[in-house]
Structures are given as structure tokens and as C-alpha cells.
Amino acid sequence: MTLSAQNSSENIPKAAVYVRVSTDEQVQHGFSLAAQEESLKNYALIHGYSIHKVYRDEGKSAKDIKHRPAMQELLSDAEKKMFSAIFTYKLDRFSRSLKDLILTMDKLKEWGVDFISLQDRIDTASASGKLMFHIISAFAEFERNIIGERTTFGMARKNKEGGTVTKPPFGYQMVDKRLIVSEDAKKVVEMYTRFLEGASLNKIAKEYGFSVNGIKKILQNRTYVGEVKFAGERNNGVHEPIMDKELFEAVQERVKR
């Protein structure tokens, strides 16, 4: 191969071909892997692409992207920018979940990979296709925001009902999503008592194997008096307190001093 031919070959954009079929669909509708593959290869070559690889999911449902090995490999290679476009026969070959489709195509936009669906006449390499990519990105951002709002709402609701929303502090363990007092609870009371008696943070940290900051967090954690906190709001928890508030508040006064 001459140098000019080699350079010309390197400048040809690469395309990935994705084909999928479930056994029932192949029998009923004739969407065989071979038929999809041949159509897509020809379509890609006509549009000036060379074929990087054909990714095949045979007998796989379109309901869930995560359980399709070829799809996972395809997306991994797309992120590595091993090709510049993905060709698929129809949108439902890629995914039947609108949510998965929107979020996946948003990722492809981020990675700079075009998406072409032969039967649906979708080509994000075109001007109209790029507009569709922007619309899909907007929907993806909307979906992420909705998920974030639901998560925040759920955590706030759990906090108001007295449930814990973070990992258990020293002295507790999590059992069936509830805080349960552990054997280390007595050490927590000892730390509070030692500090109130005049022991320094450094000394307590060395005695119990914590950092100074770790001890300060323990000495200021209101979980130990039966409270839970989320987004700056405190509520009474449903868990058992480790100590009484009198001891806790006395320690807070010494921490301030």
C-alpha cells in the first residue's frame, strides 16, 4: 500500500454496526441478524464509512440495555472513540425503553458519536439529526433532574419520619435499614465522659484509634441523643439514643470553649 493510499484509508471515518434479534422476532418478522447486518454494512459503505466492527446480540430482549453483552461492548468502545458513528436497523433494535434510549443517545452526543437508524431515517450526522440530539439531551437532563428531585424528596420524607439517611455513626449499626445500638455505644459514652472530665481531643483520639477530627465529629453528632438531620433540618429519630441530652449539651459547651 502506498503512503497516499494509507493516509486516505486512515481518513475514512469508522462505523460500528449494531444488530439484535430475539428468537421470536426472527421467526415472526424476519429480522435476522444476517439481513440487518448486510443492509447496515451497505448503507454505511455508501455513506463513506469503513466498518470498525459488527456488534451482535442474538436472542436478547430490548427491555434492558445492561444485560446485552454486545451493547455493553459497543458503548464501552464508543466512549473510547474507536469509531465515529453507530448504525442500527431500527430504534427498537437498539432499545425499546424510551428512558434508556434518551440517556444513551445523550452519552453518544457527549462522546461525539453519531447515531443512524436505517428504517427510522434518523441520522444525527445531518443538521436535522443534530437538532434531534439537542432535543434528546434536553430530555435526558430533565430525566436526571426528576430523578434527583425524587431522591431528595424521598430522603427528606424519610428524615421527617425519623429514619436515618446516611451511614450509621460509630456506636450504631444498620439492620434492615434501621439504626441499632452496637457494642461500641459504651465507647461513645466513655469518649463524652472523658472529654467532659478534661481529657484533650488528642488524648482521646489516641486512646480510641480515631483522628482528632473524627473525635470532634463524634462529640457533635446529635444522632446519639435520638435525632436525625437532613438538609439542615433536625427531627426526632425512631432509633434508640445512646446518651441523655444533659451529657451531650455539656460536651457541646466545652467544645465551643
95 is catalytic: no
What residue spans of the chain are helical by DSSP H?
Answer: 3-10, 23-29, 33-46, 69-79, 91-94, 98-111, 127-160, 185-196, 201-208, 212-219, 245-256
β-sheet bridge partners, residue 50: 14
C-alpha cell at position 42: 451497505
Neighbours of 83 (CB within 10 A): 22
Report the DSSP pairing between strands 85-88 and 114-117: parallel
* Radius of gyration from C-alpha coordinates of the chain: 29
From its phi and psi, is residue 59 left (phi > 0), alpha (psi between -120 and 50) or beta?
Answer: left
The catalytic position among 8, 22, 128, 137 is 22
Q: Which three cell numbers stand for residue 14?
A: 469508522
Catalytic center residues = 22
